[in-house]
Amino acid sequence: MWWCRDSELMAFCCQMGNASCTNLTLDLGWLYDQFAPLLTAAIIFSTALSLYLYSSSFLKGLLLSSHGNTGYPAYDFWMGRELNPRLLGGRFDLKEFCELYPGMIGWALINLGMAHKQLAVHGSISNSMMLVNAFQLYYIVDALWCERAILTTMDITTDGFGFMLAFGDLAWVPFTFTSAARYLVDHPQNLSPAGLVLVLAVKALGYYIFRGANSQKDMFRSNPNDPRVAHLRTLKTERGTSLIVSGWWGTARHINYFGDWIMGVAWCMPAGLAGLSAVVPYFYCIYFASLLIHRERRDEYACRLKYGKDWDKYCALVRYRIVPYIY
């Protein structure tokens, strides 16, 4: 794809740099003030894009998603009929672009706007706002840098590009994942040294699990004889592929989801430590837990169809789904 990792990161750095420079002369707090109109515009645009994607998917010769080609219009509109819609003569993958670029950068920019609004209203930026911005910015940069990893996800390989992904990428991600930063504009707080250490420790734990598990799997897929993964025990399947049953992937079948969720908890804690009675700061980790459980069930169903009896053997060896010894 012509939209490569380097150009994506370059575009992100340019936009964030431009926003930072603009911040000196332009009040980015308008992102807070105009939050509802911007959200409305994103919903309208994602709906219009979805209508275009659905209507254009009936052209001949297109690769369709089995999940979005059921014959039920409402469901197919939601899931997306065409697997990977392309523009510019097939050179521009619209789904991959939307999965990473506009929503992710919009997310970072809105967070920056929330920090600027807090500065304008309260005269300073709290350490909790700094943590939320730093944690989520690092996650965004990591996703853009590891762009190729998205090519093997279910969103790209299996799901069509319909309203579910269009709305999620363009409206849901940038306007709900910023809820902690938005909350801190109205409820500013500075964490104590103990609070800072606690939040940083939770974040480090989540990242250690998430990156360790994903890196181990990627190394094994790239070269099973790599000394760093050659010691891993595997289950040979009738399809000829091997499933890892030790290391990170011997603790749970989706241990990377667990690490990802722990990082999400760390994103919420800087705002949520104000009091457990406040639900808004914890919205992301509550929503994300339900999303990961749903995704794990979809993966489980697909793998059972793919591997048959071998999957039963695998589940007997790796008993837990996401959280070791619990779930």
At which of 158, 190, 222 does a domain end? 190
pLDDT in tens, 278-318: 677 888 889 999 999 999 998 899 899 989 999 999 999 99
Residue 261 pLDDT exceeds 80: yes
Residues 258 and 320 sit within 8 Å (Cβ to Cβ):
no
Claim to verify: residue 212 and residue 140 sit in the same structural domain: no
Claim to verify: residue 165 and residue 199 sit in the same structural domain: no
Both structure tokens of 176: 């709900």
CA separation (Å) from 170 to 6, 88, 288? 22, 21, 17
Claim to verify: residue 133 and residue 149 sit in the same structural domain: yes
Claim to verify: residue 175 and residue 197 sit in the same structural domain: no
Sign of CA dihedral 104, 67, 284, 194: negative
Residue 243 pLDDT exceeds 50: yes
> How many domains would you assign to the chain?
2
Enclosing domain of residue 134: 1-190
Residue among 309, 218, 240 at smallest CA distance from 232: 218
Least confident segment among 58-67, 162-171, 308-317: 58-67
Claim to verify: residue 160 and residue 200 sit in the same structural domain: no
Which residue do the tokens 């431009």 mark?
18
At which of 130, 164, 190 does a domain end? 190
pLDDT in tens, 89-139: 778 889 999 998 999 999 999 999 999 999 999 999 999 999 999 999 998
Claim to verify: residue 185 and residue 201 sit in the same structural domain: no
Please report, as a single letter, which amino acid is at residue 198. Answer: L
Residues 100 and 177 sit within 8 Å (Cβ to Cβ):
no
* Nearest-angstrom CA–CA distance, 150 and 98: 12
Claim to verify: residue 261 and residue 130 sit in the same structural domain: no
Claim to verify: residue 207 and residue 149 sit in the same structural domain: no
The neighbouring-strand residues paired with 244 are: 234
Claim to verify: residue 75 and residue 96 sit in the same structural domain: yes
Claim to verify: residue 186 and residue 197 sit in the same structural domain: no
Claim to verify: residue 128 and residue 277 sit in the same structural domain: no
Claim to verify: residue 255 and residue 212 sit in the same structural domain: yes
At which of 138, 169, 190 does a domain end? 190
